[in-house]
């Protein structure tokens, strides 16, 4: 190794030169720009994004996209902390429910109207994308959307002599009774339906069952809790009866609902498109997907959600231009088709999703048909609102509180949360 | 090489250094070496601690500028039923966990000290959990506590003909269930320290006592326990701080619903974590941290005072 001796003055001069080079870097090296794309760790998503990035870089020489990922549990914190430190990503993925936090916190900049005109977005994307609009401006666009459906284990259905998945909520109870099994001590050893309020069941209760019983979880403007109603209570009664009265499922059975289904110890589970990739690796039995059961009067409902991509507030100049190109690319029909194939999530553009082939597909069909009657519930603090639903169910299950009192207490707590948010 | 070799620059400084006495020089050198860790602690530990005190008086939410709001965070905390539940949980971990873990580890160490056969192997077995990652252990225990058909403990209970227990899914059983794992995890360390303390007691005391015809219980009561006091003080303080700061076990064993059903297992540290990194109420979280700091300080002081050598 050779050592170069520098006098104090020479060292200073070098440092100054380096500082200039760094400051002028983007302008001098105009051909090459690197942007950062952030999303959370989920194998299928990361791989699909790698494929998209490769294709994008081939089409746009001079732009490099660096994918940065974090575990889901830390993801939001990382984005917020990086923003606080002034080092945010150029293109960032976010859950639609975080949009208020991200817009209020100045993490996102509005999508530039020249590249993403609102009229085009509204004509081409599903209306649920409207949740990304604040102050007449769009802040993010999804590649894919997710809806929920009933997954069922064909092997357990056959063993119990069940020919087809339940079409109504009452049928669901009957099928669950036929497929649930208990040991001599009365312990559940095979669930008719896997129940997991912390995962998807709080959506099933809140947005879907409440609507099917004729109510709505929140007022249209999202500022008032309205599930403290006959509909919300009936929905909770139905949900709780599955474990208390019919004993066809149990919170905590096999630790997690999806684990119970994967292990072949649950005949049904309510879950989303995002689980397709994971259930796709099940080798020990065949499973099928059906639209969520309708209410007795035929009312259907579903909960659609999505992760969207927005442009970070700090992106400017060349990086902003590159970010715009990249966002347009990952929101293109081609990207959506790839995403559906690799991740299993539904295209966010109507004409890409609603194809003959998709609607007739035994797996995608039930999810895509649900897009017609899906609701996207607006959350202000998804984790806290979910916790309120978890506590509501636990009070009734573990402390013997009446469902009516428990719904009322949950509604009160959630209203306080909404009030705090909208008072800001 | 003497220090003066380095200061070859000016004769003035050389003369000043030479005029110092040997003791003073030693002190200067001591401070020079101490300066590095002190600087490190100052920047990495004490500065953030002071910063936390300031933050607790603001409404900082990570995204917006912090505004001074006086004692609002503390007022909010005192009126928050969740805080009081978490406070009770934290003290349950401390008041039940510490005495039980100290008692068990002393008994084991006391008898292990007399065992010659496989002494090293047994000691290693007790110490093993201490070397394992708390998160990994928590997940293993989480599996043990599962309801039928996969929970090992419930499988055993079922075999004996008893009803399955909900453990982590119960508001009454969840906290004790987690405490058991925390006690088990810390046992190895405490046993090793007790063993060292027992070995440090001169055997001549015991010989003299036996010559005088004292019984085993009297020896334990009059010689062993009093002479073990410094070890016990250390372990009580150490274990108390550990239980007051419990987090890994709770978080990993109840990650579906962090803090157990209806917050039945949530300790203060988990509440601080959620307030800060899930709700982004940094100011409120800092206020909770200040409270935890005060509790730790007061309890440590009280313990040192009670167990002081007279």
Q: Which of A84, A383, A398 sits opposite B278 (nearest CB)?
A: A383
Q: A258 and A133 share a domain? A: no
Q: Which of B62, B147, B256 sits opposite A81 (nearest CB)?
A: B62
Q: How many whole angstroms separate alpha carbon A39 and alpha carbon A42?
A: 9
Q: A141 and A196 share a domain? A: no
Chain centre distance of CA A403: 28
pLDDT digits (tens, 9 = 90+) for B252-280: 999 889 999 999 999 999 999 999 888 88
Which pLDDT band holds residue B11 (cuts at 50, 70, 90)?
A: low
Residue B133 structure tokens: 């990652």
Q: A255 and A399 share a domain? A: yes
Q: Which of B147, B158, B171 sits opposite A252 (nearest CB)?
A: B147
Q: Residue A7: what pLDDT?
A: 43
pLDDT digits (tens, 9 = 90+) for B277-298: 888 889 999 999 999 999 999 9
Pair B151, B242: CB distance under 8 Å: no
Is A189–B142 a contact, with Cβ atoms under 8 angstroms apart? Answer: no
Which pLDDT band holds residue B12 (cuts at 50, 70, 90)?
A: low
Q: Which of A187, A255, A390 sits opposite B164 (nearest CB)?
A: A187
Q: A265 and A356 share a domain? A: no
Is A251–B158 a contact, with Cβ atoms under 8 angstroms apart? Answer: no
* C-alpha distance from residue B157 to each of A147, A176, B167, B274 (Å): 41, 27, 12, 35
Is A190 inside any structural domain? Answer: yes
Share of chain A above pLDDT 90, in %: 76
B73-306, which class in CATH? mainly alpha
- Exposure letters B293-304 (e unless 16+ CB within 10 A, then b): eebeeebbeebe
Q: How many whole angstroms separate alpha carbon A394 and alpha carbon A196?
A: 11
Q: A160 and A309 share a domain? A: no
Select the residue from B257, B262, B274 to test the A interface by mutation, using most A Cβ atoms within 10 A: B257
Is A187–B149 a contact, with Cβ atoms under 8 angstroms apart? Answer: yes
Is A16 inside any structural domain? Answer: no
Alpha carbon dihedral B141, B143, B146, B152, in 10-degree steps, equals -90
Say how many domains are in chain A. Answer: 2
Residue A21 structure tokens: 């080079």
Residues from chain B that touch A105, judged by Cβ atoms under 8 A, are 62-64
Q: Which of B63, B142, B168 sits opposite A106 (nearest CB)?
A: B63
Is A18 inside any structural domain? Answer: no
Q: Residue A280 pLDDT > 80, yes or no? A: yes
Q: A106 and A164 share a domain? A: no
Average pLDDT of span A328-349: 93
Q: A108 and A185 share a domain? A: no
Compute the count of residue pairs across chains A and B with CB atoms less than 8 Å apart.
75
Choice between B86 and A44, residue whose per-residue pLDDT is larger: B86
Q: Residue B41: what pLDDT?
A: 87
Task: Give me the residues paired with residue A417 across strands.
Answer: none
- Peptide bond connecting B149 to the previous residue in cis, omega within 30 degrees of 0: yes
Map residue A150 onto helix, strand or coil. strand
| A214 in contact with B, Cβ within 8 Å | no
pLDDT digits (tens, 9 = 90+) for A381-408: 888 899 999 999 999 999 999 999 999 9
Q: Residue A421: what pLDDT?
A: 85
Q: Residue A156 pLDDT > 90, yes or no? A: yes
Average pLDDT of span B182-211: 93
pLDDT digits (tens, 9 = 90+) for A231-256: 999 999 999 999 999 999 999 999 99
Is A252–B169 a contact, with Cβ atoms under 8 angstroms apart? Answer: yes
Q: Residue B6 pLDDT > 80, yes or no? A: no
Is A185–B63 a contact, with Cβ atoms under 8 angstroms apart? Answer: no
Chain centre distance of CA B177: 19
Residues from chain B that touch A314, judged by Cβ atoms under 8 A, are none
Is A187–B148 a contact, with Cβ atoms under 8 angstroms apart? Answer: yes
Q: How many whole angstroms separate alpha carbon A388 and alpha carbon B279?
A: 14
Q: What are phi and psi of A165, to 5 degrees?
A: -65, 150
End-to-end CA distance of chain B: 47
Residue whose tokens read 């550990």: B242
Burial class (CB in 10 A: 0-12, 13-18, 19+), A272: buried
Q: A63 and A185 share a domain? A: no
Q: Residue B21: what pLDDT?
A: 87
3-state SS record for chain B:
CCHHHCCCCCHHHHHHHHHCCHHHHHHHHHHHHHHHHHHHHHHHHHHHHHHHHHHCCECCCCCCCCCECCCHHHHHHHCCHHHHHHHHHHHHHHHHHHHHHHHHHHHHHHHHCCCCCCHHHHHHHHHHHHHCCHHHHHHHHHHHCCCCCCCHHHHHHHHCCCCCCCHHHCCCCHHHHHHHHHHHHHHHHHHHHHHHHHHHCCHHHHHHHHHCCCCHHHHHHHHHHHHCHHHHHHHHHHHHHHHHCCCHHHHHHCCCCCCCHHHCCCCHHHHHHHHHHCCCCHHHHHHHHHHHHHHHHHHHHHHHHHCCCC
Select the residue from B278, B283, B284, B285 to test the A interface by mutation, using most A Cβ atoms within 10 A: B278
Q: A398 and A413 share a domain? A: yes
Residues from chain B that touch A83, judged by Cβ atoms under 8 A, are 63
* C-alpha distance from residue B220 to each of A421, B101, B192, B196, B217 (Å): 62, 19, 19, 16, 5
Average pLDDT of span A273-301: 93
Of all residues in chain A, the one with the smallest CA distance to B149 is A189
Residues from chain A that touch B143, judged by Cβ atoms under 8 A, are 255
Is A101–B63 a contact, with Cβ atoms under 8 angstroms apart? Answer: yes
H helix or E strand, kind and range, residue A266: strand A266-272
List, as one string, the DSSP characters of A61-129: TTEEEEEEEE-HHHHHHHHHHHHHTT---SEEEEEGGGHHHHHHTT-EEPPPTTTS-HHHHHHHB-GGG
Which pLDDT band holds residue A23 (cuts at 50, 70, 90)?
A: very low
Shortest Cα distance from A31 to chain B (angstroms)? 34
Is B278–A384 a contact, with Cβ atoms under 8 angstroms apart? Answer: yes
Nearest to A382 by CA among A169, A98, A131: A98
Is A309 inside any structural domain? Answer: yes
Of all residues in chain A, the one with the smallest CA distance to B147 is A253
Q: Residue A31: what pLDDT?
A: 61
Of all residues in chain A, the one with the smallest CA distance to B65 is A84
Which pLDDT band holds residue A8 (cuts at 50, 70, 90)?
A: very low
Is B169–A185 a contact, with Cβ atoms under 8 angstroms apart? Answer: no
- Is this complex scored with an ipTM above 0.85? no
Whats the size of chain B, residue-wise? 310
Is A140 inside any structural domain? Answer: yes
Average pLDDT of span A347-374: 93
Of all residues in chain B, the one with the smallest CA distance to A181 is B149
CATH of residue A73's domain is 3.40.190.10
Of all residues in chain B, the one with the smallest CA distance to A101 is B63
The answer for A 260-279 residues in CB contact with B (under 8 A) is: 265
Which pLDDT band holds residue A3 (cuts at 50, 70, 90)?
A: very low
| A196 in contact with B, Cβ within 8 Å | yes
Nearest to B64 by CA among A235, A233, A80, A89: A80
Q: Residue B4: what pLDDT?
A: 44
- Mean pLDDT rounded to a whole number for chain B: 90
Residues from chain A that touch B148, judged by Cβ atoms under 8 A, are 183, 185, 187-189
**Pairing mode, strands A33-40 and A91-95:** parallel
pLDDT digits (tens, 9 = 90+) for B21-65: 889 989 999 999 999 889 998 888 889 889 999 999 999 888 778
Q: How many whole angstroms separate alpha carbon B310 and alpha carbon B302?
A: 15
Domain carrying residue A107? 31-146+305-374
Say which range, A281-285, B131-135, B302-306, has the weakest mean pLDDT: B302-306
Q: Residue A182 pLDDT > 90, yes or no? A: yes
Q: Residue B207 pLDDT > 50, yes or no? A: yes
Residues from chain A that touch B163, judged by Cβ atoms under 8 A, are 185
Choice between A15 and A305, residue whose per-residue pLDDT is larger: A305
Map residue A225 onto helix, strand or coil. strand
Q: At what angle do helices B81-112 and B229-244 cross, to 10 degrees?
A: 150
Residues from chain A that touch B171, judged by Cβ atoms under 8 A, are 394, 398-399
Q: How many whole angstroms separate alpha carbon A314 and alpha carbon A320?
A: 9
Q: How many whole angstroms separate alpha carbon A302 and alpha carbon A289?
A: 14
Is A384–B150 a contact, with Cβ atoms under 8 angstroms apart? Answer: no
Task: Give me the residues paired with residue B303 across strands.
Answer: none
Q: Residue B309 pLDDT > 80, yes or no? A: no
Q: Residue A344: what pLDDT?
A: 86
Q: At what angle do helices A230-244 and A169-179 cross, to 10 degrees?
A: 10
Chain centre distance of CA A193: 22
| B135 in contact with A, Cβ within 8 Å | no
pLDDT digits (tens, 9 = 90+) for B87-129: 999 999 999 999 999 999 999 999 999 888 888 898 888 888 8
Task: Give me the residues paired with residue A312 across strands.
Answer: A108
Question: What is the residue extent of each domain of chain B?
Answer: 3-55, 73-306
| B140 in contact with A, Cβ within 8 Å | no
Q: How many whole angstroms separate alpha carbon A354 and alpha carbon A340?
A: 13
Q: A152 and A264 share a domain? A: yes
Shortest Cα distance from A81 to chain B (angstroms)? 7
pLDDT digits (tens, 9 = 90+) for A26-77: 444 446 899 999 999 988 899 999 999 999 999 999 999 999 999 988 898 8
The answer for A 64-83 residues in CB contact with B (under 8 A) is: 77, 80-81, 83
Select the residue from B55, B61, B256, B275 to test the A interface by mutation, using most A Cβ atoms within 10 A: B256
Q: A158 and A242 share a domain? A: yes
């Amino acid at each position: 190794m050779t050592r170069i001796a520098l006098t104090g003055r020479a060292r200073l001069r070098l440092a100054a030169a380096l500082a200039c080079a760094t400051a002028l870097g983007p302008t001098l090296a105009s051909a090459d720009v690197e942007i950062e794309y952030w999303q959370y760790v989920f194998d299928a998503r990361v791989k699909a994004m790698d494929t998209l990035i490769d294709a994008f870089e081939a089409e746009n020489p001079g732009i490099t996209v660096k994918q940065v990922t974090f575990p889901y549990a830390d993801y939001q914190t990382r984005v917020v902390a990086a923003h606080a430190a002034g080092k945010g990503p150029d293109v960032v993925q976010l859950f639609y429910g975080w949009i208020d936090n991200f817009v209020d916190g100045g993490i996102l900049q509005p999508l530039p109207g020249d590249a993403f005109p609102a009229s085009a977005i509204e004509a081409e994307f599903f209306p649920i994308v409207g949740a990304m609009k604040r102050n007449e401006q769009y802040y993010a666009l999804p590649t894919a959307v997710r809806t929920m459906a009933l997954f069922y284990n064909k092997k357990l259905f056959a063993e119990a002599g069940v020919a087809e998945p339940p079409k109504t909520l009452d049928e669901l109870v009957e099928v669950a009774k036929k497929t649930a099994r208990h040991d001599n001590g009365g312990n559940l050893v095979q669930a008719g339906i896997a129940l997991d309020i912390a995962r998807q069941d709080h959506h099933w209760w809140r947005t879907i069952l409440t609507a099917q019983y004729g109510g709505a979880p929140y007022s249209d403007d999202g500022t008032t809790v309205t599930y403290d109603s006959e509909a919300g209570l009936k929905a909770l009664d139905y949900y709780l009866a599955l474990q208390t009265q019919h004993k066809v499922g149990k919170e905590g059975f096999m630790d997690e609902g999806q684990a119970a289904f994967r292990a072949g110890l649950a005949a049904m589970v309510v879950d989303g498109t995002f689980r397709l990739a994971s259930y796709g690796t099940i080798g020990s039995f065949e499973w099928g997907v059906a639209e969520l059961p309708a209410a007795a009067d035929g009312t259907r409902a579903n909960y659609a959600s999505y992760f969207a991509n927005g442009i970070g507030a700090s992106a400017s100049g060349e990086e902003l231009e590159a970010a715009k190109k990249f966002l347009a690319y990952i929101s293109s029909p081609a990207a959506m088709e790839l995403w559906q194939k690799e991740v299993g999530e539904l295209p966010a553009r109507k004409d890409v999703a609603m194809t003959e082939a998709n609607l007739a597909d035994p797996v995608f069909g039930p999810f895509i048909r649900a897009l017609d009657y899906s609701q996207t519930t607006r959350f202000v603090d998804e984790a806290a609102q979910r916790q309120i639903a978890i506590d509501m169910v636990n009070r009734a299950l573990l402390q013997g509180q009446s469902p009516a009192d428990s719904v009322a207490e949950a509604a009160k707590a959630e209203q306080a949360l909404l009030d705090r948010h909208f008072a800001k | 090489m003497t220090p003066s070799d380095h200061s070859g620059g000016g004769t003035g400084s050389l003369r000043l250094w030479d005029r110092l006495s040997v003791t003073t020089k030693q002190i200067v050198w001591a401070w020079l070496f101490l300066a590095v860790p002190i600087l490190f602690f100052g920047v990495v530990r004490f500065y953030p601690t002071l910063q936390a005190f300031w933050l607790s008086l603001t409404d900082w939410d990570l995204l917006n500028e912090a505004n001074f709001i006086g004692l609002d965070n503390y007022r909010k905390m005192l009126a928050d039923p969740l805080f009081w539940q978490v406070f009770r949980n934290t003290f349950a971990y401390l008041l039940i966990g510490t005495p039980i873990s100290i008692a068990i580890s002393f008994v084991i160490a006391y008898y292990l000290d007399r065992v010659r056969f496989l002494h090293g192997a047994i000691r290693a077995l007790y110490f093993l959990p201490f070397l394992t990652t708390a998160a990994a252990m928590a997940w293993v225990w989480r599996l043990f506590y599962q309801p039928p058909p996969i929970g090992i403990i419930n499988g055993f209970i079922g075999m004996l003909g008893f009803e399955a227990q909900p453990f982590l899914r119960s508001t009454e059983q969840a906290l004790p269930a987690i405490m058991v794992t925390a006690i088990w995890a810390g046992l190895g360390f405490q046993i090793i320290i007790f063993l060292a303390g027992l070995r440090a007691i001169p055997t001549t005391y015991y010989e003299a006592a036996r010559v005088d015809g004292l019984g085993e219980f009297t020896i334990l009561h009059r010689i062993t326990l009093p002479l073990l006091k410094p070890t016990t003080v250390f372990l009580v303080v150490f274990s108390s701080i550990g239980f007051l700061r419990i987090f890994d076990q709770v978080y990993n064993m109840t990650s579906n619903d962090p803090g157990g059903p209806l917050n039945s297992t949530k300790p203060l540290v988990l509440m601080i974590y959620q307030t800060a990194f899930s709700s982004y109420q940094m100011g409120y979280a800092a206020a909770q941290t200040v409270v935890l700091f005060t509790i730790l300080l007061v309890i440590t002081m009280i313990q040192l005072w009670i167990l002081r050598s007279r």
